[in-house]
Amino acid sequence: MASRLIYTYQNTFHNRPEKIFMAPCRINLIGEHTDYNYGLALPAAISKYIAAAVGKRNDRKIHLKSLNKRYDVEVDLDSISNSIENGWGNYPLGIFWVLQKRGHKLPFGLNIVYQSNVPIASGLSSSAALLNLTAFIASTMYDIPLKPEEIALLAHQSETEFNGLQCGVMDEFAIALGKKDKCILLDCKDNSFEYKDIDFKDYSLAVIVSNVRRNLVVSPYNTRVEECKKAVELLKPHFNIQSLSDLKVSDLEKCKEIIGDDVIYRRVRHIVSENQRVRDFVESSKNGDVNKMADILNKSHESLRDDYEVTGEYLDYIHEISLKYGALGERMTGAGFGGSSIALIKKSEFETFKEKVSRDYDHKFGIDPLIFLADICDGLIVKNL
Ligand code: GLA
């Protein structure tokens, strides 16, 4: 990626970039929609990247260019706001806005050229990758030392306050904390984390991108966040809880009586059972029980489909045909509403699996899915030129 980035940077700005930065994207093995409920998740960074060539400017402008976009965005550091004209630039610009809101003086502008091989709006967190990457660029170029978890929190503040998505911290943490061959057990109650070795024996994780594009800000994502908040308000007088993640599976019967409303109850049941599935998944992996892990993945998909209602017909069909063509377990990963899935598949059967799933999916929807084996990798990278 680097040579095309450097070439474009030089052609556009007539000098050499100073550094190249890279951010991976992520999958989430288990623990979906739990992060904004202060629960557990088990994501990992994977080696699909957004990279950027970066250099300083002599004025106070941020000039953003992307090899994947048709137009550049240029904004003065002193007048950053979220506007329609800034288009895709609203994501990176939020980082500079947050840093200044936090009181940092940013003494010069930057030229940034991005290039991505992360499928956009695919549920693999291309937006969090762009935010983390830009947060990392800003902290490095302005010499504001931030630990990976602080980069993640900066990116998250930008996404919620500047871009208006009421998301949790899972994506940002997965990308900033990524480690080769490790999953990250994240407790969103206090943002503590632990690296886990997950051994799938002779199985591998395949990623299936549905190639159905969606925009989370205008999807029911924020509606789910509101439904969960409503449930907490209904349950608080009866349980000593701050969030739905303080509830246990054995509390569910009582929750059902208190809540009354079937939809809100099913949202609660998903969150509570999903947190338990994260614990069970980690426990099963310690015991090397791949069948149990696969079963938990399937249960998670069913819960996201029937109780949380975020899968949709594309991901449900992928679930169905993946199991038919040899996946031991399969579930949607990320927010849902289109996006991606992960499947546990025997390494030796991957090519046949890929061919059959692609064929059936294309036959039904006229869309070619993207299917590849997940390569779990390190997080943020910087190289001096
Ligand atoms: C999106 C959000 C995350 C998380 C997932 C669902 O990826 O950005 O914070 O809520 O959906 O688990």
CB-CB contact of 274 with 34 (8 Å):
yes
DSSP letters, 8-47, are HHHHHHSS--SEEEEEEEEEESS--S-GGGT-EE-EEEEE
Q: What is the mean pLDDT of the chain?
A: 96
Give ligand 1 pocket residues (Cβ under 6 A): 28, 32-33, 35-36, 125, 167-168, 170-171, 334-335
Q: Which atom of ligand 1 is nearest to the CA of 32?
A: 12
Helices (H) and strands (E) in the chain, counts: 11, 13
CB-CB contact of 309 with 269 (8 Å):
no
Residue 215 — very low, low, confident or very high, per pLDDT cuts 50/70/90?
low
Query: Is-catalytic flag, 246?
Result: no
The mean pLDDT of 191-198, rounded to a whole number, is: 97
CA 367 to mean position of chain CA atoms:
23
For residue 22, is pLDDT > 60?
yes
Residue 76 CB burial class (10 angstroms; 0-12, 13-18, ≥19): exposed
Percentage of the chain modeled with pLDDT above 90: 93
Question: What is the C-alpha separation between 274 and 244, in angstroms, rounded?
Answer: 11
The mean pLDDT of 163-169, rounded to a whole number, is: 91
Terminal C-alpha separation, the chain? 14
The mean pLDDT of 183-211, rounded to a whole number, is: 96
The mean pLDDT of 283-303, rounded to a whole number, is: 97
How close is the Cα of 165 to the center of ligand 1, in Å?
Answer: 10
Pocket test for ligand 1, best of 29, 40, 171, 225 (most atoms within 8 A of CB): 171
For residue 46, is pLDDT > 90?
yes
Question: What is the C-alpha separation between 376 and 277, in angstroms, rounded?
Answer: 21
Residue 358 CB burial class (10 angstroms; 0-12, 13-18, ≥19): middle
Pocket test for ligand 1, best of 26, 30, 33 (most atoms within 8 A of CB): 33
For residue 300, is pLDDT > 60?
yes
Comparing CA positions, the residue from 118, 111, 77 lying closest to residue 97 is 77
Reported as a single tens digit per residue, the pLDDT across 169-178 is 999 999 999 9
- The CA dihedral of 73, 77, 82, 83, to the nearest 10 degrees, is -50
Q: What is the pLDDT of residue 214?
A: 67
Of 35, 76, 78, 171, the active-site residue reads: 171
Closest Cα to atom 8 of ligand 1: 167
| Cα→Cα distances 8→67, 112, 171, 250, 385, Å | 8, 10, 29, 58, 15
The mean pLDDT of 184-201, rounded to a whole number, is: 96
Reported as a single tens digit per residue, the pLDDT across 113-162 is 999 998 777 889 999 999 999 999 999 999 999 999 999 999 999 999 99
Residue 163 CB burial class (10 angstroms; 0-12, 13-18, ≥19): middle
The mean pLDDT of 323-345, rounded to a whole number, is: 96
For residue 217, is pLDDT > 70?
no
Comparing CA positions, the residue from 344, 347, 346 lying closest to residue 293 is 344
Pocket test for ligand 1, best of 132, 153, 167 (most atoms within 8 A of CB): 167
Percentage of the chain modeled with pLDDT above 70: 99
- Which amino acid is it at 158? S
For residue 9, give both structure tokens: 């940077």
Question: What is the C-alpha separation between 2 and 320, in angstroms, rounded?
Answer: 39
Please state whether beta strands 110-116 and 61-66 pair in parallel, antiparallel, or not at all (unpaired).
parallel
Q: Which atom of ligand 1 is nearest to the CA of 36?
A: 10
Neighbours of 253 (CB within 10 A): 9
